Amino acid sequence: MDAEGNLYVGRHFSASILKVRADGTVDEQWTEAADVFGTNGVEIVGDQLYASVIIDLRASVVRVPLDDPSSHEKVAELGPGPLDLKVLDDLVGFDGGLAVTAFLSGELIRLAPSTGESCTLTDRVLMPTSVRTPEGFGDHDPARQLFVTEASGRILKVTVG
């Protein structure tokens, strides 16, 4: 959700990201302008929406300005191509950048959207489907820890040095 209470939804087999206003109506104009096919995870950081593209052999992450969705741009390609499929799933704002799950390759990837640089935090997750920071969750440190859900339902805590 953004600061105004609007909800954004990635859509695997659709040509755009869906924006639902706080009153429950769809913002058709914004949705049409956010024409990125095959998005999955979406995360708002400041005035930008970031989305992982699940249907993309190059494992792309895109940035969509909330005030101008038609000027969306690719910020990174996390996979070199079809011989190293990643199948991006979810992402979350983390440590000044993003943490992105790669379902097929089992990776948790740190991405700096400003430069497109990335590194693998771990490649030992079995089909990761979701990643979250532990905001307000006990004594956990949202600046150093992530919780990752696997397709099996198992939840892992990943601590970053």
Residue 97's domain is classified under what CATH number?
2.120.10.30
The two three-digit tokens of residue 115, written as one number: 């430069």
Residue span of the structural domain in which 75 resides: 7-159
Give the phi and the psi of residue 40 in degrees, each rounded to 5: -130, -90
* CA distances, 157 to each of 90, 98, 104 (Å): 16, 16, 19
User: Is 161 buried (19+), middle (13-18) or exposed (0-12) by CB count in 10 A?
Assistant: exposed
Give a yes or no: residue 2 inside a domain. Answer: no
Give a yes or no: residue 1 inside a domain. Answer: no
Q: What confidence tens digit (pLDDT) does each residue in 54-70 have?
A: 988 899 999 999 999 99
pTM for this entry: 0.95
Give a yes or no: residue 34 inside a domain. Answer: yes
Number of domains in the chain: 1
Q: What confidence tens digit (pLDDT) does each residue in 73-113 have?
A: 999 999 977 778 999 999 999 999 999 999 999 999 999 99
Give a yes or no: residue 91 inside a domain. Answer: yes
Give a yes or no: residue 77 inside a domain. Answer: yes
